[in-house]
Amino acid sequence: MPLATMTSKGQVTIPKAVREQLHLEPHDTLIVLAEGDRAMLRPVRGTILGLKGVLHRKGMKPINFRKLRARFEEGMATEAVRRGRLAPPTP
């Protein structure tokens, strides 16, 4: 089982064997899930940001994908808390 060490900045290098198994490339985006005392990384494939500009029509107001993504992530986090898969944020 490959091991990884976290730096003082919270960074972890994913072992080469795992990167190859998951077909990860530099700058790939990963979802980080915490369940109990475990952390799981899942690659994000085909994000909505890859569709930027595809649906634009003349006269349409541009979509702010950063805001859209933030709302989506908030919804996913809320759903994870609701299902008991993520601890609620502490104030």
The mean pLDDT of the chain is: 84
CA atoms within 13 A on the CB side of 26: 0
Q: What is the full DSSP assignment across 55-70?
A: T--TTPPPP-HHHHHH
What was the pLDDT predicted at 45?
A: 78
Its pTM stands at 0.48
- In tens, the pLDDT along 13-57 reads 999 999 999 999 998 888 888 888 999 888 887 766 666 666 667
